[in-house]
Structure 1
Amino acid sequence: MSTRWYPLYQKGNPQLRVFLPNFWMKLVKPKFSQPPNVVKFKVSMEMTKRDVRNYLEKIYKIPVVEVRTQIELGPTKREPLKGYIVKDEDVKVAYVVLVNYQLLHESFLPITNLLDNLSHYIVMSPVHIMPYYIY
């Protein structure tokens, strides 16, 4: 599962080693409107719900209420010249329910421009968690 090969640790080796996770997450704008405390991420296909929760809680210190994942099928289209069908890769999507959206805004400082574009998500006070469904 690992795509990185870390050098073996040798006693007395003074190099600082930073071990990064083999997973990636990308914050995206949802296709359909969601409650303000729900955020959509495109994630690595190998990630589970527990991995997504631990990634956000341990690395970014964002409290997570619930995580739901699903696999979105890649679009299929007919190649114009040859006529055969081409299918793009599938993508795993995670919908994360947060306690307070402002915590996400403060934690992801490098992507503030993206979050400013998602202005309909910004909530300045804690949001009451209500049941909802994704269609």
Structure 2
Amino acid sequence: MSTRWYPIYQRGNPQLRVFLPNFWMKLIKPFPTQQPNIVQFECSMEMTKHDIRNYLEKIYKVPVVDVRTKITLGKFRRDYGKGYIIKEDDAKHAFITLPKSMKFEFPDLFESSKDEEEENMKSLDEAKKSYKTYIDRNKDRPDVPSWFSI
């Protein structure tokens, strides 16, 4: 389903048109942890449960058991400069139930290994040492700016 208007078909040269859907889905990490076979998405307000199911099954080939949707109200806040009230956009959340045999774990994007942590500590120690030598070199010249170093 698309709400875009496309030019009328004309005979002749190949048609230079690409049909793109207006739908989008964004994976969200749920705040209260869900069961391992439930995945949460934020999706376009125009999407229905059937659209969400078809989107996941046809494009990503994910077997879907159940789809539940919820529309959350956008937050109200006051603009500090002008003083009027602003309402953020509403959002539609889809809770997708996968088969019991499938488990989804939200990827840990900021997972760092111990090797990286040790490397970061070494570079931090080197930076501290170089700063210490810089301070010791210029401590007898308080009237000279720090950028003017020998």
Q: Shorter-chain-normalised TM-score: which range? A: 0.5 to 0.7
- Write the distance in 1 (CA, Å) between the matches of 2:14 and 2:84: 56
What is the one-letter code of the residue matched to 2:103?
Y
- Of residues 90, 100, 103 in structure 2, which corresponds to 1:101? 103
Per the alignment, residue 124 of structure 2 pairs with none
Q: CA deviation at 1:89?
A: 0.6
Q: CA, structure 1 residues 118+73, in 2 after alignment: closer, same or farther (shift >3 Å)?
A: farther
Q: CA deviation at 1:21?
A: 2.0
Higher relative contact order (CA 8 A, sep 6+): 1
Per the alignment, residue 115 of structure 1 pairs with 107
Structure 2 residues not aligned, in runs of 5+: 112-150
Q: CA, structure 1 residues 14+96, in 2 after alignment: closer, same or farther (shift >3 Å)?
A: same
What is the one-letter code of the residue matched to 1:24?
W
Report the number of matched residues. 109
Q: CA deviation at 1:18?
A: 4.3
- Alpha-carbon deviations, 1:30-88, whole Å to 9, x = none? 12211111111111101111110011011111100111001011111122233322110
Question: Could you say what secondary structure the match of 1:101 adopts?
Answer: coil
Q: CA deviation at 1:98?
A: 1.2
Q: Is the 8 A contact 2:73 2:90 kept in 1?
A: yes
TM-score, structure 1 normalization: 0.66
Relative to its length, the structure with more strand (as a share) is 1
TM-score, structure 2 normalization: 0.60
Identical-pair percentage: 62
Between structure 1 and structure 2, the one with the greater Rg is: 2
Q: CA deviation at 1:19?
A: 2.7
Per the alignment, residue 128 of structure 1 pairs with none
Structure 1 residues not aligned, in runs of 5+: 106-113, 120-135
CA RMSD of aligned residues (A): 2.8
Q: CA, structure 1 residues 116+4, in 2 after alignment: closer, same or farther (shift >3 Å)?
A: farther
Q: Is the 8 A contact 1:40 1:93 kept in 2?
A: yes
